[in-house]
């Protein structure tokens, strides 16, 4: 896991104070997690509920990503879950943040992480082309 | 993004996704003898990031750097500290290069948009003279701080014979007041009288230097010192918390200071402010303010906060410490810029103490209207701004309000795309600040919130 370049991108995201958890996932499956200690402890109490809700959201993502669904989010209690979909796939970069976090600033780094992961997944292709198509 | 060139191995192998690239402009027509480049680092360690941002910026220059402008996000406070960031820069940057900068909430450049990392714009030219200056205690005595900085700039440029004059002012922006017995809050509606709150706020402002930036006062004083200069300015920030911010002057890290870069040159440039805010039908009279016009005590002859709620038809719950910025960013108060009633500029209400509304810009003009904006118009402010410039810029510096970044979120890549379309392979650096401004002898001062401010050289 430690040598996985996608895990390293997630490690960077998780270093941001307000990113409590992040992963690359699809319905019923977390594909890549950060390589370090995993999620921050604030998430532990609510993780089971969030995980269940995430799977429902992934149903929507798999139905609509082919026609351009790019982002989704939901709020559950005091947390928000952000989904940055990898175009034309059923996979998304997912982050759990506090409901009152400065989401605008976090979104920029979520987008950068998505672009980095896309570069890793599609090494020959220009990221902008993948995002914008 | 165009023609990105890969650099050799990074300084060391670290868990980062650094953009190891540099963009350099080729001489534009009429700008022979002017080189500029943008550098950046996404490394976490402050020293490594300092080295890399300097290395990626200067390695493409043929001549020695004339000045180096450095911006970083607040994260390095926890990963080595800003002194180490500067130490890293000076591991690489030639001695005696004038360096100024500070902390920002984010930045865009030729590589992308970021809310974590460090970036720099470096210029090398035989056709300009450069001086830098600083003044301390801007929140306590903005006039004195401005004069300290102005004296250094005047002395540094006194022998220059170049005709075109430019000044970049980087000033410590507002920090959340630290009110005795109450602490740090944006909204305090009850439990203590407004009069007492404002007294305690004054203590925080003048003794602790925690309060409004008073950067508009600093800029007005700089204009008195340099009325024939063109100016671009912005206030340093953290990541939206409003708790602390830092300024950089050569190898020194400062707080509550103004840092200035003065340039006299043979090259052309201009400055411009656009915000594209739309006026709503909610007009009112500000009938009582503090002496400096920064605190609004009464609207339409009534206590200000309650009257604002009535005018906006908002419930009291909107005055909420947790969500206030998200609310006010979409509904700033419009005030006549330079007393021109047809030119309303936005100013954000950063605090509500009892019945008083705290803003970051002083205005004694009684006429006011609520303004509003949406994402499309935030982007249109860029088009409206750049349309007035020549098609072949040499490089650009852009002070953009952090509220634009915080409301656009990842939509800020649409901003970066527009800037890339305009600048092409020419270096640009947009830094997200609080309390941004431009000034020119022809257009006067535009000091507003939520705006897009350019200084473009050609």
Query: pLDDT for A107-129, tens place per residue?
Result: 999 999 999 999 999 887 765 54
B405·A104 Cβ contact <8 A: yes
Q: How much is the pLDDT for B17?
A: 32
Give the one of A15, A108, A128 whose C-beta lies nearest to B409's C-beta: A108
* Inter-chain touch A109–B116, beta carbons under 8 Å: yes
User: Residue B98, CB half-sphere, CA atoms under 13 Å: how many?
Assistant: 20
Question: Distance between CA atoms of B434 and B436, rounded to whole angstroms?
Answer: 6
Choose the closest CB to B240 out of A16, A102, A111. Answer: A102
Nearest residue of chain B to residue A129 (CA atoms): B1
How big is the CA angle at B46 (ends B42 and B52), to the nearest 5 degrees? 55
Indicate the CATH number of A5-132 among 1.10.287.1400, 3.30.450.190, 2.60.40.420, 3.40.225.10. 3.30.450.190
Measuring CA to CA, which residue among B332, B336, B361 is closest to residue B448? Answer: B361
Whether residue A111 and residue B410 make contact (CB cut-off 8 A), yes or no, is: yes
Confidence of residue A2 (pLDDT cuts 50, 70, 90): low
Residues B44/B21, Cβ–Cβ less than 8 Å: no
Q: Where are the beta strands (DSSP E) in A3-125?
A: 21-26, 29-32, 71-76, 79-85, 92-98
| Interface ipTM > 0.95 | no
Cα→Cα distances B414→A113, A132, B113, B456, Å? 17, 11, 10, 20
Q: Domain residue spans in chain A?
A: 5-132
pLDDT at A62: 93
Measured CB to CB, residues of chain B less than 8 Å from chain A are 1, 15-17, 42, 44, 75, 105-106, 112-116, 239-241, 322-323, 405-410, 412-413
Residue B423 falls in which region: left (phi positive, over 0), alpha (psi -120 to 50) or beta: alpha
pLDDT at residue B3, rounded to an integer: 32
Query: Which of B17, B44, B239 is the closest to A105 by Cβ?
Result: B239
Among A92, A105, A128, most B C-beta atoms within 10 A, so best to mutate, is A105
Chain A: give the shortest CA distance to residue B167, in Å.
Answer: 29
| Residue in A12, A100, A108 nearest the CB of B115 | A108
Q: Please tell me the least confidently modeled range out of A46-55, A57-66, B25-34, B348-357.
A: B25-34
pLDDT of residue B32: 78
The nearest CA of chain B is from the CA of A105 a distance in Å of 6
Of A12, A104, A106, the CB nearest to B16: A12
Instruction: Write down the pTM of the prediction.
Output: 0.89
Contacts of B75 in chain A (CB under 8 A): 16
Query: From CA B422, how far away is CA B458, in angstroms rounded?
Result: 13
Cα A116 from Cα B139, distance rounded (Å): 41
Distance in Å, alpha carbon of B366 to nearest chain A alpha carbon: 33
Residues belonging to chain B = 458
Which of B15, B116, B413 lies nearest to residue A16, judging by beta carbons? B116
Mean pLDDT by 10 residues, chain B (458 residues): 33 33 45 90 98 96 96 97 98 97 98 98 96 96 97 97 97 82 78 76 81 91 98 95 94 97 96 94 94 93 95 92 82 85 86 90 91 91 93 94 94 96 96 96 93 97
What's the confidence (pLDDT) of residue A128?
52
pLDDT attached to residue B7 = 31
Closest Cα in chain A to B240: A102
Yes or no: say if B82 and B248 are a contact pair by the CB < 8 Å rule.
yes
Which residue in chain A has the smallest CA separation from B15? Answer: A8
Decide if A105 and B406 are in contact by the 8 Å CB cutoff.
yes
Rounded Cα distance, B63 and B417, in Å? 30
């Amino acid at each position: 896991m430690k040598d996985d370049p996608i895990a390293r991108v997630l490690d960077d995201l998780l270093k941001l104070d307000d990113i409590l958890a992040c992963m690359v996932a699809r319905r019923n499956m977390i594909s890549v997690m950060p390589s370090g200690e995993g999620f921050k402890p604030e998430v532990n109490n609510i993780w089971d509920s969030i995980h269940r809700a995430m799977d429902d959201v992934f149903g929507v993502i798999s139905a609509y990503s082919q026609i351009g669904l790019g982002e989704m989010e939901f709020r559950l209690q005091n947390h928000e879950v952000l989904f940055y979909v990898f175009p034309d796939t059923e996979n998304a970069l997912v982050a759990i943040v506090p409901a009152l976090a400065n989401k605008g600033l976090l979104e920029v780094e979520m987008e950068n992480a998505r672009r980095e992961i896309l570069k890793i997944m599609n090494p020959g292709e220009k990221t902008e082309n993948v995002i914008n198509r | 993004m165009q023609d990105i060139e890969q650099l050799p191995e990074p300084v060391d192998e670290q868990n980062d996704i650094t953009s190891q690239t540099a963009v350099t402009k080729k001489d534009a027509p009429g700008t022979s003898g002017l080189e500029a480049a943008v550098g950046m680092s996404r490394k976490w360690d402050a020293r490594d990031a300092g080295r890399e941002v300097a290395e990626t910026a200067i390695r493409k220059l043929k001549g020695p750097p004339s000045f180096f402008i450095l911006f970083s996000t607040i994260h390095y406070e926890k990963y080595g500290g800003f002194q180490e960031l500067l130490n890293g820069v000076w591991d690489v940057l030639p001695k005696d290069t004038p360096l100024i900068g500070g902390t920002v909430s984010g930045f865009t450049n030729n590589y992308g948009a970021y809310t974590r990392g460090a970036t720099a714009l470096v210029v090398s030219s035989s056709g300009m003279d450069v001086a830098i200056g600083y003044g301390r205690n801007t929140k306590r005595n903005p006039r004195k701080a401005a004069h300290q900085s102005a004296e250094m700039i005047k002395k540094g440029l006194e022998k220059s014979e170049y005709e075109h004059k430019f000044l970049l002012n980087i000033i410590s922006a507002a920090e959340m007041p630290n009110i005795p017995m109450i602490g740090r809050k944006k909204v305090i509606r009850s439990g203590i009288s407004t009069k007492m709150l404002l007294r305690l706020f004054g203590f925080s402002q003048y003794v602790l230097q925690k309060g409004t930036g008073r950067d508009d006062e600093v800029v007005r004083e700089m204009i008195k010192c340099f009325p024939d200069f063109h100016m671009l300015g912005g206030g340093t920030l953290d990541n939206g918390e409003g708790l602390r911010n830092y300024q950089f002057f050569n190898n020194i890290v400062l707080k509550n200071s103004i840092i200035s870069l003065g340039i006299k040159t043979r090259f052309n440039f201009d400055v411009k402010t656009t915000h594209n805010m739309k006026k709503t039908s909610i007009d009112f009279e500000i009938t009582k303010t503090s002496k400096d016009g920064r605190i609004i005590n009464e609207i339409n002859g009534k206590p200000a906060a309650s009257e604002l709620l009535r005018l906006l038809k908002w419930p009291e719950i909107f005055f909420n410490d947790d969500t206030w910025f998200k609310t006010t960013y979409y509904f700033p108060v419009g005030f006549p810029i330079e007393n021109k009633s047809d030119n309303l500029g936005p100013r954000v209400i950063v605090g509500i103490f009892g019945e008083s509304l705290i803003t970051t810009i002083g205005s004694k003009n009684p006429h006011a209207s609520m303004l509003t904006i949406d994402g499309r118009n935030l982007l249109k402010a860029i088009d409206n701004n750049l349309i007035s410039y020549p098609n072949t810029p040499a490089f650009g510096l852009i002070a953009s309000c952090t509220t634009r970044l915080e409301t656009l979120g990842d939509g800020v890549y649409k901003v970066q795309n527009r800037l890339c379309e305009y600048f092409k392979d020419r270096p640009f650096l947009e830094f997200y600040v609080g309390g941004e401004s431009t000034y020119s002898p022809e257009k006067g001062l535009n000091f507003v919130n939520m705006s897009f401010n350019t200084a473009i050289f050609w």
